[in-house]
Amino acid sequence: MPDRNARRVLAAAGELIAWWAALGALWLVYVSTVDVLEVSAGAVAAGVGAWAARAGRRAVGRG
């Protein structure tokens, strides 16, 4: 059973990382100036968005 649980955790982590990368890239596309503050804000916003996307997929039973 631990192997099944580990696989589920890795799948969830992979989904979060994929969402975070996609949303972070989208943030950088829409930002006019790229500096440390903007990249930091984008990373945080992408993290929140990734968490919300994962929660939404779990809520509808697809994750």
Q: Give the integer Cα–Cα distance in Å for 11 and 17.
A: 10
pLDDT value at residue 18: 96
pLDDT digits (tens, 9 = 90+) for 3-54: 888 898 999 999 999 999 999 999 989 987 889 998 999 999 999 999 999 9
pLDDT value at residue 4: 81
Check: CB of residue 53 under 8 Å from CB of residue 19.
yes
Q: Give the integer Cα–Cα distance in Å for 49 and 20.
A: 7
Q: The pTM is what?
A: 0.82
